[in-house]
Amino acid sequence: MLERLLGLVATGGVHSYKALAQELNVTEALLDSMIADLVRLGYLRPTEGTCEGRCQGCPKSGTCGIGERGRLWVLTERGVGWRLA
Protein backbone atom coordinates (compact mmCIF):
# COMPACT_ATOMS: atom_id res chain seq x y z
CA MET A 1 0.00 0.00 0.00
CA LEU A 2 2.91 2.37 0.73
CA GLU A 3 4.29 1.71 -2.75
CA ARG A 4 0.94 2.62 -4.26
CA LEU A 5 0.87 5.87 -2.28
CA LEU A 6 4.40 6.72 -3.45
CA GLY A 7 3.33 5.98 -7.02
CA LEU A 8 0.44 8.42 -6.72
CA VAL A 9 2.65 11.11 -5.24
CA ALA A 10 5.28 10.51 -7.93
CA THR A 11 2.76 11.32 -10.67
CA GLY A 12 3.24 14.97 -9.73
CA GLY A 13 0.84 17.74 -8.98
CA VAL A 14 -0.82 18.38 -5.67
CA HIS A 15 -3.17 15.84 -4.11
CA SER A 16 -5.54 16.41 -1.23
CA TYR A 17 -5.76 13.97 1.68
CA LYS A 18 -9.35 13.31 0.72
CA ALA A 19 -8.47 12.43 -2.89
CA LEU A 20 -5.53 10.22 -1.91
CA ALA A 21 -7.56 8.42 0.75
CA GLN A 22 -10.35 7.76 -1.74
CA GLU A 23 -7.91 6.53 -4.39
CA LEU A 24 -6.31 4.15 -1.89
CA ASN A 25 -9.66 3.22 -0.30
CA VAL A 26 -8.41 4.07 3.21
CA THR A 27 -9.45 6.54 5.89
CA GLU A 28 -7.70 9.89 6.13
CA ALA A 29 -6.39 8.78 9.55
CA LEU A 30 -4.74 5.72 7.99
CA LEU A 31 -3.38 7.88 5.16
CA ASP A 32 -1.85 10.21 7.75
CA SER A 33 -0.16 7.20 9.37
CA MET A 34 1.10 6.00 5.98
CA ILE A 35 2.57 9.42 5.22
CA ALA A 36 4.24 9.46 8.65
CA ASP A 37 5.80 6.07 7.84
CA LEU A 38 7.09 7.35 4.49
CA VAL A 39 8.58 10.40 6.21
CA ARG A 40 10.23 8.19 8.84
CA LEU A 41 11.64 5.94 6.09
CA GLY A 42 13.00 8.94 4.20
CA TYR A 43 10.76 8.83 1.11
CA LEU A 44 8.75 12.01 1.81
CA ARG A 45 9.50 15.26 3.58
CA PRO A 46 7.30 18.17 4.56
CA THR A 47 7.87 21.40 2.70
CA GLU A 48 9.05 24.42 4.64
CA GLY A 49 5.58 25.93 4.79
CA THR A 50 1.99 24.89 4.88
CA CYS A 51 -0.91 25.65 2.62
CA GLU A 52 -2.84 28.54 4.09
CA GLY A 53 -5.77 28.21 1.72
CA ARG A 54 -4.82 31.51 0.08
CA CYS A 55 -4.38 30.51 -3.54
CA GLN A 56 -4.01 33.94 -5.08
CA GLY A 57 -0.32 34.54 -5.65
CA CYS A 58 0.68 30.96 -4.87
CA PRO A 59 3.00 29.48 -7.52
CA LYS A 60 1.09 26.16 -7.31
CA SER A 61 -2.37 27.72 -7.72
CA GLY A 62 -2.75 26.53 -11.33
CA THR A 63 -2.13 22.88 -10.44
CA CYS A 64 -3.21 22.66 -6.83
CA GLY A 65 -6.06 20.32 -6.01
CA ILE A 66 -6.22 21.01 -2.29
CA GLY A 67 -8.53 24.01 -2.10
CA GLU A 68 -8.27 23.94 1.68
CA ARG A 69 -5.68 24.35 4.40
CA GLY A 70 -3.26 21.49 4.63
CA ARG A 71 0.29 20.25 4.97
CA LEU A 72 2.46 19.97 1.87
CA TRP A 73 4.79 17.01 1.29
CA VAL A 74 7.35 16.31 -1.43
CA LEU A 75 9.35 13.29 -2.51
CA THR A 76 12.91 13.12 -1.25
CA GLU A 77 15.78 11.98 -3.48
CA ARG A 78 15.21 8.50 -2.09
CA GLY A 79 11.50 8.83 -2.84
CA VAL A 80 12.13 9.76 -6.47
CA GLY A 81 13.90 6.42 -7.06
CA TRP A 82 11.67 4.54 -4.63
CA ARG A 83 11.56 0.85 -4.11
CA LEU A 84 10.57 -0.12 -0.59
CA ALA A 85 12.68 -2.82 1.00
- Those residues whose C-beta lies under 8 Å from the C-beta of residue 33, and which sit 6 or more positions away, are none
What distance in Å separates the CA atoms of residue 83 and residue 29, rounded to the nearest whole number?
Answer: 24
- In this prediction, residue 66 has a pLDDT band, given cuts at 50, 70 and 90, of very low
- Report whether 35 contacts 72 (CB < 8 A): no
Residue 68 has pLDDT above 60, yes or no: no
Residue 31 has pLDDT above 90, yes or no: yes
| Domains defined for the chain, CATH in brackets | 2-80 (1.10.10)
pTM higher than 0.75: no
